[in-house]
């Protein structure tokens, strides 16, 4: 395990006041990085992080958007849990973990239909 990952885990442990253990592969795009974690009290969570200035504003907006979509019940979205300041690791959005593997064409059709109705 790399030192950077250990440091991120420590920041999460402190911010969540919980045990955290990474699972799967972490990933990142041109904007954010993300990884799944198993926690003692929250179960599986997904943590999306960003070290750039203003990322707290972006994550607060995403938190509010996910909350609004969740409340409609029209489409399944991860439950937003928290927006965290992780110090040197920037800001993070914490949500429920949704396993996206194993999807098929019928799932994609259902997703498109639900999105169109919302």
Cα 30 versus chain centre, distance: 16
Work out the pLDDT band at 114, boundaries 50, 70, 90: confident
Question: Do the Cβ atoms of 91 and 85 come closer than 8 Å?
Answer: yes
Q: What is the pLDDT of residues 51-88, one digit of tens each?
A: 999 999 999 999 999 999 999 998 889 999 999 999 88
What's the rounded Cα separation, in Å, for the pair 56 and 10? 20
- Beta-sheet strands, E only, within the chain: 20-28, 33-39, 43-50, 80-85, 91-96
4 pLDDT exceeds 70? no
Q: What is the pLDDT of residues 32-56, one digit of tens each?
A: 999 999 999 999 999 999 999 999 9
Average pLDDT over residues 89-112: 85
The pLDDT score that the predictor gives to residue 81 is 97
For the domain spanning 3-117, the CATH number is: 3.30.200.20
**Domain spans of the chain, in order of start:** 3-117
The pLDDT score that the predictor gives to residue 5 is 58
């Amino acid at each position: 395990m790399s030192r950077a990952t250990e440091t991120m885990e420590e920041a999460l442990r402190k911010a969540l006041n919980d045990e955290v253990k990474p699972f799967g592969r972490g990933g990142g795009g041109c904007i954010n990085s993300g990884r799944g974690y198993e926690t003692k009290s929250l179960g599986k969570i997904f943590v999306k992080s960003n070290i750039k200035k203003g990322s707290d504003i972006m994550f607060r907006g995403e938190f509010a958007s996910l909350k609004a979509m969740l409340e409609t019940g029209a489409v399944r979205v991860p439950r937003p849990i928290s927006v965290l300041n992780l110090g040197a690791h920037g800001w993070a959005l914490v949500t429920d973990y949704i396993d996206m593997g194993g999807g098929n064409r019928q799932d994609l059709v259902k997703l498109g239909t639900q999105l169109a109705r919302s």
